[in-house]
């Protein structure tokens, strides 16, 4: 069965897939343009979800399975040319280490005003002030999945109290307590750090609205590692400009790249990162076992054993 891998070798190593499936035809394209010339007979596509385009799907009449290496697949959900019988799986579950580390970096940097230290270094200014610790602080994690579980473990190691907000879970390790989404404002009021980790959906779009932001402490910090539209960005800007919350660390935005005229760029209490939360120097090693498992299940006709199925499509490979 022809398999097309569309990746620059950053997220997966094509030769590793060829080694795992020596009897299959595994093609490799560095980008969409190259993929368009190779895809006509391919039945399986391995790619990051945000790289899959309608044009590519239209050129793949035999496509039966998309093995997405990214956790979010909302981009695939918007494709007009995707047939209903195409199965889709995600890379959910592998991003815990890198997302947790970015969350901790953001918490420490904003607590200790590290950007201020960097500005002082550039100006050769020697300035000291009391350093705020993570120890004893409360982190509220919006959404409890694999990333939140790993982050909660690390927060616990720093001596933090961690609260989870989710309608899907009643208990989880390393959380002091869990609260339903209906109590989101109450949870926000408890947060020294409110960390957004939910996927984007109709239910979560602008979930963090002006009311939720208004419930936060004046010293509270918002960290968004989910999707930009989960947060009402104009409301966040207004709250930051008014000094009504302590700061924000944002890896995702409603418009990406973040427009040059966005006021978020120049706010001293805001850290802007270019959607790097899911990236790591060992991504290929992290995602390979999941890709191999799902490809093997699909090729062997064992769809019920596949992991992270987000779109069932057809029942099995032939």
What CA–CA distance (Å, rounded) separates 32 from 65? 17
Q: Are 28 and 304 in contact (CB under 8 A)?
A: no
> How far apart, in Å, are the Cα atoms of 89 and each of 15, 51, 93, 150?
21, 15, 12, 22
pLDDT at 314: 63
Which run of H or of E encompasses 19?
A: helix 14-20
Strand boundaries in 82-200, DSSP class E: 87-89, 138-142, 161-165, 177-179, 193-196
User: Are residues 195 and 52 both part of a single domain?
Assistant: no
Give the DSSP per-residue string, 191-204: -SEEEE-PPP-TTT
What CA–CA distance (Å, rounded) separates 137 from 160? 5
Q: Are 172 and 144 in contact (CB under 8 A)?
A: yes
- DSSP conformation class of 139: E
pLDDT at 109: 98
User: Are residues 66 and 149 both part of a single domain?
Assistant: no
Domain count across the chain: 2
User: Are residues 130 and 220 both part of a single domain?
Assistant: yes
The model's pTM? 0.93
User: Are residues 127 and 254 both part of a single domain?
Assistant: yes
Task: Provide block-wise average pLDDT over 10 residues at a time, the chain (318 residues).
Answer: 95 97 98 97 97 97 97 91 96 97 98 97 98 98 96 98 95 96 98 96 96 98 98 98 98 98 97 97 98 98 96 63
Over its C-alpha atoms, the chain yields an Rg (Å, rounded) of 21
User: Are residues 186 and 41 both part of a single domain?
Assistant: no
Which of these, 242, 198, 251, lies nearest to 216 by C-alpha position?
Answer: 242
User: Are residues 78 and 175 both part of a single domain?
Assistant: no
119 Rama sector, left if φ>0, alpha if ψ -120 to 50, beta otherwise: alpha
Q: Are 145 and 193 in contact (CB under 8 A)?
A: no
User: Are residues 103 and 200 both part of a single domain?
Assistant: yes
Give the structural domain span for 125: 96-272
User: Are residues 168 and 194 both part of a single domain?
Assistant: yes
What CA–CA distance (Å, rounded) separates 65 from 2? 11
In a domain, 317, yes or no: no
User: Are residues 191 and 232 both part of a single domain?
Assistant: yes
In a domain, 318, yes or no: no
């Amino acid at each position: 069965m022809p398999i097309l891998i569309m990746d620059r070798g950053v997220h997966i190593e094509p030769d590793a897939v060829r080694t795992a499936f020596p009897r299959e035809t595994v093609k490799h394209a560095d980008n969409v343009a190259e993929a368009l010339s190779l895809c006509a007979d391919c039945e399986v596509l391995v790619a990051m979800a945000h790289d899959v385009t309608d044009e590519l799907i239209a050129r793949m009449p035999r496509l039966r399975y998309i093995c997405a290496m990214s956790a979010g697949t909302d981009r695939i959900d918007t494709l007009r040319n995707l047939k209903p019988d195409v199965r889709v799986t995600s890379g959910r579950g592998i991003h815990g280490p890198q997302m947790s580390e970015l969350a901790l970096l953001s918490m420490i940097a904003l607590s200790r005003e590290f950007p201020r230290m960097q500005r002082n270094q550039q100006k050769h200014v020697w300035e000291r002030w009391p350093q705020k610790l993570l120890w004893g602080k409360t982190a509220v994690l919006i959404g409890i999945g694999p990333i939140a579980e790993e982050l909660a473990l690390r927060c616990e190691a720093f001596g933090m109290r961690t609260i989870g907000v989710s309608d899907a879970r009643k208990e989880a390790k390393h959380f002091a307590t869990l609260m339903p989404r209906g109590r989101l404002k109450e949870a926000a009021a408890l947060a020294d750090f409110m960390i957004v980790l939910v996927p984007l959906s109709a239910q979560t779009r602008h979930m963090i609205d002006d009311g939720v932001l208004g419930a936060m402490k004046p010293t509270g910090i918002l960290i968004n590692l989910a999707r930009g539209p989960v947060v009402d960005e104009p409301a966040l800007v207004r709250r930051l400009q008014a000094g009504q919350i302590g700061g924000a660390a944002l890896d995702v935005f409603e418009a990406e790249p973040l427009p040059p005229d966005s006021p978020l760029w120049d706010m001293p209490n805001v850290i802007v990162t270019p959607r790097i939360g899911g990236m790591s120097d060992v991504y290929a090693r992290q995602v390979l076992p999941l890709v191999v498992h799902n490809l093997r299940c699909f090729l062997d006709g064992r769809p019920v054993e596949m992991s992270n199925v987000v779109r069932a499509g057809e029942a099995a490979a032939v």
